[in-house]
Amino acid sequence: MKTQKTITAISLIAALFFVGLPFSSASAEEILTAQEHLQLAKHHELLLKEAEDKLVQHKAALEDYEDRPYYYGRRGQDFQSHEKANIREYEKIVAENKAQVAIHYKLAGESQTPQFVSGSSNTQVN
């Protein structure tokens, strides 16, 4: 009986926690200012540059392997497979960071646009 009450109480607390979780914090777009979006965009640009540099290195290593596979011996095919996987991963990282840069620049630009009074799009609020 005591165990059943304990389990019921724990499950009730867990359910309340998970139901209230979406309402407990505001989304990032509501909190961040234009300056913070610009900083995030710069951060993602740095990550993008690093990922592009790594991508170039892995493509060069794969090209070197394909030009001279006899240098790599028995582990050559493992090396080739590993480099192809690295290239796919870094291409994915590059695409994600490009998207994040675009999103944060867009959000920084939108938050700096003038606000209009509802109902009348010709008057600006100062």
Beta bridge partners of 124: 116
**In which domain, by residue range, is 66 found?**
33-111
The 10s digit of each residue's pLDDT in 53-74 is 999 999 999 999 999 999 999 8
The span from the CA of 55 to the CA of 74, in Å, is 25
Pick from 38, 58, 60: nearest CA to 50: 58
Note whether residue 27 is domain-resident: no
CB proximity list for 6: less than 8 A, separation 6 or greater: none
- Please say whether the beta carbons of 61 and 81 come within 8 A: no
Note whether residue 61 is domain-resident: yes
Give the global pTM: 0.61
Per the structure, the count of domains in the chain is 1
The 10s digit of each residue's pLDDT in 14-40 is 766 666 655 555 554 456 788 888 999
Amino acid at 49: K
